[in-house]
């Protein structure tokens, strides 16, 4: 009887323990089920009719779609927010960036997890019918720098509750959009005080001579209409940096010519293109403006198939150092495209925390 009593007591204790373990397990399960879901921001599409882009030689549509991410709580908070202006790359557009891409979801998560305080995120349409804008002022393909500074920023400030201080405006961009973000910062530090350029191109030259520029020059120089060159990088670059209103139907010069059936580089046109296109050539005149910025950062992927992009980004950072321009610079393992937009990618882990550190999120008294 004594033994049976001991066994009964032991069994009872075991059952109680199992019951409590099960209760704890159920409690944990219930706790997981009540974790609030990530709150979602709102995507808004506005239309800006640009006076600056009207009547370009190549017929750029002056009606520009402006895609805007408004953070969770915007509708009811009554607060004003900092603004990040994102420059998309040459063959991209705002729909691909915000609606088809992952940026809106990443912003939702980052705000929910306090990676960054709530911000407004703006992606304007910088695309053109045949090629991108290249983020430049051109008499042929449009004054895109002026469009951004003189029309886009005032438009966004008039439509949304923004903090209307340069300290609360940031620029970001990837690839050619990275060049655009840097160019806008170099020209308009009075409007934008924070910039992060992700793998920017055209920061300088690398190993390759422009005499061996990788393109089908014979196709370009023998073309009869711009439509034959739709999507051609050199056509877009030439319209931006070698515009010529007296040379229809392309309305640009090219830095390579055909002479007696042979390709021949034009050194004067090459120098003119490089001076306007490559950002390192413009750094000395922009250095004072860049030194007034709150935060500058750029990164680049070590395994870009075009190693000139890597070499020029390194040299660009060194030149910033030589000019006394404080900045962050990082070379990372990987290629420029597969380590950026995923949940542990560089936009989430590098760009947004950088903006959190350097943007001003409250109005100055």
For the stretch 103-122, pLDDT in tens is 999 999 999 999 999 999 99
Q: Is the pLDDT of residue 197 over 90?
A: yes
pLDDT at 33 exceeding the cut of 60:
no
Choose between 206 and 300: higher pLDDT: 300
363: three-class secondary structure by DSSP:
coil
Which range is least confidently modeled, 142-146, 316-320, 335-339? 335-339
Q: What is the predicted pLDDT for the residue at 130?
A: 85
Closest CA to 84 of 117, 112, 122, 110: 122
pLDDT in tens, 238-256: 999 999 999 999 999 999 9
Tell me what pLDDT residue 314 has.
98
Identify whether the C-beta of residue 350 lies closer than 8 Å to the C-beta of residue 330.
yes
pTM score above 0.85: yes
22 pLDDT above the threshold of 80: no
Instruction: Supply angle C-alpha 255, 137, 359, rounded to 5.
Output: 125
Domains of the chain: 42-205+280-358 (3.40.50.1820), 210-273 (no CATH)
Check residues 264 and 8 and name the one with the higher pLDDT: 264
CB 266 within 8 A of CB 260: no
The confidence band for 21, taking pLDDT boundaries of 50, 70 and 90, is very low
For the ranges 132-136, 186-190, 279-283, the lowest mean pLDDT is seen at 132-136
What pLDDT score was predicted for residue 101? 66
| Residue-wise pLDDT tens digits, 142-188 | 999 999 999 999 999 999 999 999 999 999 999 999 999 999 999 99
Say if residue 139's pLDDT is above 90: yes
Q: Per-residue pLDDT averaged across 17-23, rounded? A: 41
Tokens of 114: 């306090």
Percent of the chain with pLDDT over 70: 88
Q: Tell the residue number behind the tokens 């597969």, with chain if given.
A: 338
Q: E strands along the chain, which residues?
A: 42-49, 63-70, 83-87, 120-124, 137-138, 142-143, 169-174, 194-198, 256-259, 262-265, 295-301, 328-332
Hey, CA dihedral for 48, 50, 51, 54, is it positive or negative? Answer: negative
More confident site: 75 or 96: 75
């Amino acid at each position: 009887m004594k033994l049976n009593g001991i066994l009964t007591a032991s069994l009872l204790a075991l059952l109680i323990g199992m019951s409590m373990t099960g209760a704890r397990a159920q409690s944990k399960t219930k706790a997981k089920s009540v974790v609030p879901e990530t709150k979602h921001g709102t995507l808004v599409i506005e239309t800006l009719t640009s006076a600056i882009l009207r009547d370009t030689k190549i017929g750029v549509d002056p009606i520009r779609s402006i895609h805007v991410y408004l953070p969770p709580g915007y509708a009811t908070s009554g607060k004003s927010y900092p603004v990040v202006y994102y420059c998309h790359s040459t063959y991209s557009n705002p729909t691909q960036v915000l609606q088809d891409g992952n940026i809106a979801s990443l912003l939702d998560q980052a705000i929910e997890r306090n990676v960054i305080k709530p911000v407004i995120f703006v992606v304007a349409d910088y695309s053109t019918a045949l090629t991108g804008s290249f983020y430049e002022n051109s008499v042929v393909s449009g004054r895109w720098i002026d469009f951004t500074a003189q029309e886009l920023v005032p438009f966004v400030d008039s439509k949304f509750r923004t903090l209307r201080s340069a300290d609360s405006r940031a620029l970001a961009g990837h690839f050619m959009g990275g060049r655009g973000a840097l160019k806008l910062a170099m020209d308009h530090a009075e409007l934008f005080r924070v910039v992060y350029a992700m793998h920017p191109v055209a920061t300088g030259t690398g190993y390759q001579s422009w005499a061996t520029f990788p393109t089908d020059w014979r196709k370009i120089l023998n073309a009869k209409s711009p439509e034959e060159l739709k999507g051609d990088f050199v056509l877009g670059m030439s319209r931006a940096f070698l515009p010529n209103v007296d040379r229809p139907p392309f309305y640009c010069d090219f830095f390579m010519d055909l002479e007696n059936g042979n390709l021949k580089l034009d050194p004067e046109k090459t120098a003119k293109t490089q001076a306007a296109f490559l950002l390192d050539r413009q750094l000395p005149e922009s250095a004072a403006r860049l030194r007034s910025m709150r935060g500058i950062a750029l990164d680049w992927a070590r395994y870009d198939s075009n190693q000139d992009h890597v070499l020029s980004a390194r040299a660009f950072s060194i030149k910033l150092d030589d000019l006394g321009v404080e900045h962050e610079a990082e070379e990372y393992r990987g290629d420029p495209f597969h380590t950026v937009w995923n949940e542990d990618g560089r936009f989430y882990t590098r760009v947004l925390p950088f903006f959190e550190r350097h943007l001003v999120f409250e109005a100055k008294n």
